[in-house]
Amino acid sequence: MSDQHSFETLAIHAGNTADPLTGAVVPPIYQVSTYKQDGVGGLRGGYEYSRSANPTRTALEENLAALEGGRRGLAFASGLAAEDCLLRTLLTPGDHVVIPNDAYGGTFRLFAKVASRWGVEFSVADTSDVSAVRAALTPRTKAIWVETPSNPLLGITDIAAVAGVARQAGVRLVVDNTFASPYLQQPLSLGADVVVHSTTKYMGGHSDVVGGALVVSDPELAEELAYHQNAMGAVAGPFDAWLVLRGIKTLAVRMDRHDENAAKVADLLTRHPEVTQVLYPGLPEHPGHEIAAKQMKAFGGMVSFRVAGGEEAAVEVCNRTKLFTLGESLGGVESLIEHPGRMTHASTAGSLLEVPSDLVRLSVGIENADDLLADLTQALG
């Protein structure tokens, strides 16, 4: 599949070769652990054991690489499994990483509670401030980690500018592209070395699968990651890979609707007396609006806001919605609401990444926008 095709075409066709035996237009689920060899070492298509490679996972990995404009994609059992593989590939004890002051709680936990015990150190920086990123570098820094838009405060980092800092320092730039998806943003084209995804979110899109991915352009790094993926074994199973591949086919049309609905929700919230602040990069007053407009096709489906009555009022808003389902995760066709401080980001309590207690995060789905606006209006009172 040529990379000259449009995103929408690649999403449907890249990696999705018709089955040579039956002509099935959807790649089969190869629910298999091992493969018959034609003599010792005589592998058919390079397949010997499904931890090492599986045809369904191969289809997904080829698709992921095409969508991000990378050389190779790697599919994992979860987003954190992908992150763990990346850290153990890039780093050794004594190395240092710069991480954002607004990051997914699971990512922070991985650094603070797991990698730190292995001797990996990290510093926290406001990655929207290029000078702060530069100041956080040390002689032992091996990577700069960025989320943009960030989780849950919807901060925006200038990927190209931070990529310049990384190149000058001789370190890798990792960009978690989960909130944007490759439809809205392609970090590799802006200078990033590695793109991370929780494919559980917008890529899968239907709240029915857990998965993760890494995409890279450097062939050497690709081989190192593939080695660790096989050696560590937290790979996407064939059915999970098939579900993500199925979800990706409608990614473009879903993201258009997510974005359209989120803009309407943000507009409502900016005018509501019980809301003190709306965090959405599509708003002109958002500090990262101009950069987001430059590096993103649109602003995405995530909106966070702060409630006038403080933490308890924010929790009550979460409890009162009827269409917005109270739950963790994001990026599904249905709208979700959560209180980050008590839910997805509880692990950041007491740290530099602790989130405001009056914060509510919305994953705006693709339902009728008027119904969503009415639900938020009644929940806010």
Active-site residue list: 51, 104, 176, 201
Structure tokens given for 292: 């987001």
- Residue 362's nearest CA partner among 308, 304, 319 is 304
Round to whole Å and give the CA distance between 337 and 329.
Answer: 9
Query: Which residues are CB-neighbours of 258 under 8 A, at least 6 positions away?
Result: 202, 300, 301, 364, 365, 366
| Residue 354 tokens, joined | 């602790």
Q: What is the b/e burial string over 53-63, where b = at least 16 CB atoms within 10 angstroms of the residue's CB?
A: bbbbbbbbbbb
Report the C-alpha gap between 140 and 175 in whole angstroms.
Answer: 20
Spatial strand order of the sheet with 302-307 comes to: 275-279, 302-307, 359-363, 336-338, 325-326
Q: Is 152 helix (H, G, I), strand (E, B) or coil?
A: coil
**Which residue, among 82, 320, 72, has the nearest Cα to 217 in the 3D structure?**
72
- In the chain, which residue ranges form alpha helices assigned H by DSSP? 7-13, 55-68, 79-90, 105-109, 130-136, 159-169, 181-184, 219-232, 238-248, 251-270, 289-295, 311-320, 369-380
Six-digit token pair at 365? 């789905």
Find out whether 275 and 380 touch, Cβ atoms under 8 Å.
Answer: yes
d(CA 107, CA 128): 18
